Structure 1
Amino acid sequence: MRRFLLVLVIISLFPVGLAWAQSGEEEENYTREFTYGINFNSNGGLLGGAMIKQVYHLNDKWYHFWALEGVEVKHPKETRLQNLQNGASFVRGKSNYLFVLRPQYGREYTFFKKAAESGVQVNGILAAGPSIGILAPYFIEYDRSNYVLDPRTQIYNRVGPVLISTEQYDPKVHTNDGLIVGAPGVFKGLSEPAFRVGANAKAGVSFEYGRYMESVTGIEVGMMVEAFAGDMTMVPDAPKRNIFRSVYLTLYYGRRR
């Protein structure tokens, strides 16, 4: 995932040349911009989360903004396995999900403004804010049925009824992966949240496209660092961490006026 994001960062730098080419054209002006989009990052797997953002013009090439991001943060040691009997999958050793809400305040500096009906706008971005971490238990469905070893075949046979228990995954307790028959999903864990407080900061570059002045489509790429206080255990057998660093890419769409 990290390599994939780095490739996207490199690809996204090509529009800078277009911005230089358009510098002599008529520039557009706007006082506010509202955008929303989806986030990909090196700590979030295939899809990291979503964001909304409101931008206001300050003066000349400076803008300031308020934003809210909601993402899932995964531990790099997570490994997904599949039960060969029923096809259900689960994350081996995972005891907690981590979801994060990030209210942010930031500044944008416009390096190149786009023309009224074409071109690319290039902005530099700095932002910071609190992080509200939500640790949600990761539950699995564990087979607690009674099994007895047949001495002739050396195969365990179930004796009595099938007993499937839904429990928070603990790798020290649930030692037999073959008895994990599935995972009930994230909503089960969200019913028992634990909250953590932290802070985040990011630096990035955005490239905004748009055929007309009132619409905008863009890509933002950059790096983020985030730290939390308290126990942040997600995978008990993996090294503990309270600081998370990531490379991110956000695709967004919106309106301006």
Structure 2
Amino acid sequence: MKQALPHYILALLLMPALVWAQRSGSTSTTISPNQSNSKANNASSKTGNIPAAAGSLAERGTWAIGLTTTTNSGIFGGLNLRKSWNKNPSRQPIIGLDIVNVKDYREFTSPFSYNGRSYTEGKLNNLLIVRPEFGMQWMLFKKSSEGGAALRGILATGPSLGVKIPYYVDVSFLDPTTGRTIIKSIPYTESMTNTTGRSVIIGEGGYFVGSADAKMVPGWHLKSGFDIELNTIKHNYLSLEVGFIVDVFQNPVEMLNQTSPRSVYTTGYLTFFFGRTY
């Protein structure tokens, strides 16, 4: 009995330490329900952000208005409207509307002028073209993560609605009944036939003076070009587009006197677009 007593005493002394170690180990490995739910919510929110961001990016598009200059016009050639949908990062459908003025490459300004005014020698008609179009643009070079420019290729087609407007000039002539000088706007064709008597051309008339006698000339066009999207801030959109257009009309359009009318017109263009993305 004297030898067994120390063993019982040792067991009683070690039992509280064993119970404390078991409890501390169980609390360190057990996760409370609140902690597990919070971790699951955090994981789901992290994984949900990626599809949401991708979905918002896929639905973005662009509205833009453009100012254009062409090889068959002056510095200001016309206006452009364009809308695109960015559902596919590599290929986007586009719709547009072009309203441009087209001149014949053989036109030249008359060397005779009156008080600084001039006119186009032998011009019979102005040609205004309205081009509704549908096409596609392809991403060739994307913007880098640090910004910069993006390059797209564009191919579009659609009808060409040619509006042939008679070219008017202002003439000065003497009224035989009153003896007074009269200034009047007449078609250039009348100035060649001297229907107003002895008259002098003093300058060209307004562009839309002969709109009441305008005639429609239907046709079709094909456009190809490259669009350089510039780096912008927020939702602003800026780009430069350069390309080539072919217009084919059903009937030849007579624009100059003593020259053969043409039904095919080709032109190069440069357009500056500005707008917003949504």
Instruction: Compute the TM-score of the two structures, normalised by the length of structure 1.
Output: 0.77
Equivalent residue number for residue 18 of structure 1: none
Could you say which structure has the higher helix fraction?
Answer: 2
Equivalent residue number for residue 62 of structure 1: 91
Work out which of the residue numbers 233, 256, 272 in structure 2 matches 1:212. Answer: 233
Instruction: Specify which structure has the bigger relative contact order, considering alpha-carbon pairs within 8 angstroms and separated by 6 or more residues.
Output: 1
Equivalent residue number for residue 165 of structure 2: 136
Partners of 1:103 and 1:117 lie apart in 2 by 36
Aligned: 1:234 with 2:255? yes
Percent identity, aligned pairs only, is: 28
Higher mean C-alpha displacement, 119-128 vs 79-88: 79-88
Partners of 1:177 and 1:128 lie apart in 2 by 48
SS where residue 116 of structure 2 aligns? coil
Equivalent residue number for residue 40 of structure 1: 69
Partners of 2:84 and 2:103 lie apart in 1 by 29
AA at the equivalent of 2:116 = G
Higher mean C-alpha displacement, 81-90 vs 100-109: 81-90
Could you say which structure has the higher strand fraction?
Answer: 1
How many residue pairs match? The answer is 219
Partners of 2:117 and 2:194 lie apart in 1 by 16
Higher mean C-alpha displacement, 207-216 vs 67-76: 207-216
Q: Name the CA shift for 1:223/1:124 in 2 (closer, same or farther; >3 Å).
A: same
Using the TM superposition, give the Cα deviation of residue 74 of structure 1 relative to its aligned residue in structure 2, in angstroms.
Answer: 0.4
Partners of 1:168 and 1:36 lie apart in 2 by 34
Root-mean-square deviation over aligned CA pairs? 2.6
Partners of 2:104 and 2:157 lie apart in 1 by 22
Partners of 1:177 and 1:88 lie apart in 2 by 19
Q: Name the CA shift for 1:187/1:235 in 2 (closer, same or farther; >3 Å).
A: same
SS where residue 143 of structure 2 aligns? coil
Q: What per-residue deviation string (whole Å, max 9, x for no partner) do you get for residues 98-124 of structure 1?
A: 101100101000012224662111101
**Unmatched segments (≥5 aa) in structure 2:** 1-55
Equivalent residue number for residue 123 of structure 1: 152
| 8 A contact 1:117–1:213 mirrored in 2 | no
SS where residue 63 of structure 2 aligns? strand
AA at the equivalent of 2:276 = R
Work out which of the residue numbers 196, 199, 211 in structure 1 matches 2:220. Answer: 199
Aligned: 1:249 with 2:249? no
Q: Which has the larger radius of gyration?
A: 2
AA at the equivalent of 1:124 = G
Work out which of the residue numbers 176, 187, 204 in structure 1 matches 2:208. Answer: 187
Q: How does 1:56-95 map to 2 (within 5 A)?
A: 56-81=85-110, 83-95=112-124
Instruction: Compute the TM-score of the two structures, normalised by the length of structure 2.
Output: 0.71
